[in-house]
Amino acid sequence: MLAMLTDTVLMVTMNIIAKTNSNLIDPKQQVVLTPDEISEREFGSKMVLVTEQMQLVTIWLVKGCLLIMFNRLTMSLKQNVAVKFVAGYVVVSFVVMEILYLGVWCRPFSQYWAVPPDNVQCSAATNHLITNTVFNISSDIMIILIPMPIFLRSQITLKKKAVLVGVFALGTFTILCAILNKFYSFTQPFGSEWTFWYIRESSTALITANLPMTWTLFRRVFNLRSFVGSSKDRYGSRPITNDPYGPGTQAGRSGVRSAVRSVSAPESNGDVDSFDSQEEINRAYGIPLRVK
């Protein structure tokens, strides 16, 4: 929710930047500014500062959401150590970037909207862009690599793997957007191309982070089954045979329970997902829903 709000502010400020100038002035141009033009450029420079902060917060919030989800999914797996390591790296990188951007690269802070600024770092922000590129892309790669061992070892159908590959492809596209927005920031600092890639990066990152939460919807639309597997795999049931020990023994009771599952849910085929509600599970297995 917070990431959505910061991304909304990012979109608004991007539209303002597209219509206003900032203190980033091409040194090849001899510009004589009037007081009104200076005031406009000061306002535009402040919007650039807000835009940069909203983009940073949005991207790092998305990273945090993905890491929280991975932490829950790998709670009992060895990949959980990697999740915690990457989470620490993400937190430290954000703190370092903010300290450098707000307190080191441009001093005093008011020079960020001074027209013209005394330091080129207050307008071009070259050092900040380099720092952001390193931390952003490296942490994205780490986050994408976390579920890879589980994905490679999983025994799922090609159709299900194609869906997961699509999610990973979106994550890769987010990295591409991060590279391109910095590329245009360096090569065309006085143009507007970098702003489009800023928006593409944040929007794609939000979509990628929310896709796992909408898996139930995609499963129904594309008629996909659960990633967990069939009911036989989940419950460990065996073919029903005549039990020589009778239904009163432990083995007999296991056979009866397996038979009940086979009869009561002949069409379910294990289509029970951890994302399904209790009502859906009850309806799939023919169990009446009790309302207290």
H helical segments located in the chain: 2-17, 35-73, 79-103, 126-145, 148-153, 158-187, 193-210, 215-221, 231-235, 250-264, 278-284
Length of the chain: 292
* Cα–Cα nearest to 228, from 156, 123, 134, 124: 156
Name the percent of the chain lying above pLDDT 70. Answer: 75
Check whether 259 has a pLDDT greater than 60.
Answer: no
Domain coordinates in residue numbering, the chain: 2-221, 231-284
Q: Which residue has the higher pLDDT, 148 or 137?
A: 137
Question: Average per-residue pLDDT in the chain?
Answer: 77
Tokens standing for 6? 């910061």
Count Cβ atoms below 10 Å from residue 63 Cβ, excluding itself.
25
Check whether 137 has a pLDDT greater than 80.
Answer: yes
pLDDT band at residue 239, thresholds of 50, 70 and 90? very low
To the nearest 10 degrees (0 to 180), the angle between helices 126-145 and 35-73 is: 20
Q: Cα 43 to the chain's mean position, in Å?
A: 32
Buried b / exposed e across 65-92, counting CB within 10 Å, b at 16+? bbbeebbebbeeeebbebbeebbebbee
pLDDT at 236: 44
- Phi/psi-derived region of residue 250, left when phi > 0, alpha when psi is between -120 and 50, beta in every other case: alpha
Measure the CA–CA gap between 208 and 202, rounded to whole angstroms. 10
Q: Which residue has the higher pLDDT, 198 or 159?
A: 198
pLDDT at 283: 53
Q: Cα 136 to the chain's mean position, in Å?
A: 12
Check whether 263 has a pLDDT greater than 80.
Answer: no
pLDDT at 266: 42
Name the percent of the chain lying above pLDDT 90. Answer: 34
pLDDT at 196: 87
pLDDT at 53: 94
pLDDT band at residue 224, thresholds of 50, 70 and 90? low
Check whether 251 has a pLDDT greater than 90.
Answer: no
Q: What is the pLDDT of residues 87-102, one digit of tens each?
A: 999 999 999 999 999 9
Q: Cα 134 to the chain's mean position, in Å?
A: 18
Among 125-134, 194-203, 281-290, the least confident range: 281-290
The mean pLDDT of 171-183, rounded to a whole number, is 89
The mean pLDDT of 249-260, rounded to a whole number, is 43
Check whether 250 has a pLDDT greater than 60.
Answer: no
pLDDT at 104: 93
Q: What is the pLDDT of residues 276-292, one digit of tens each?
A: 545 555 455 455 545 44
Q: What is the pLDDT of residues 26-61, one digit of tens each?
A: 777 777 788 898 999 999 999 999 999 999 999 999
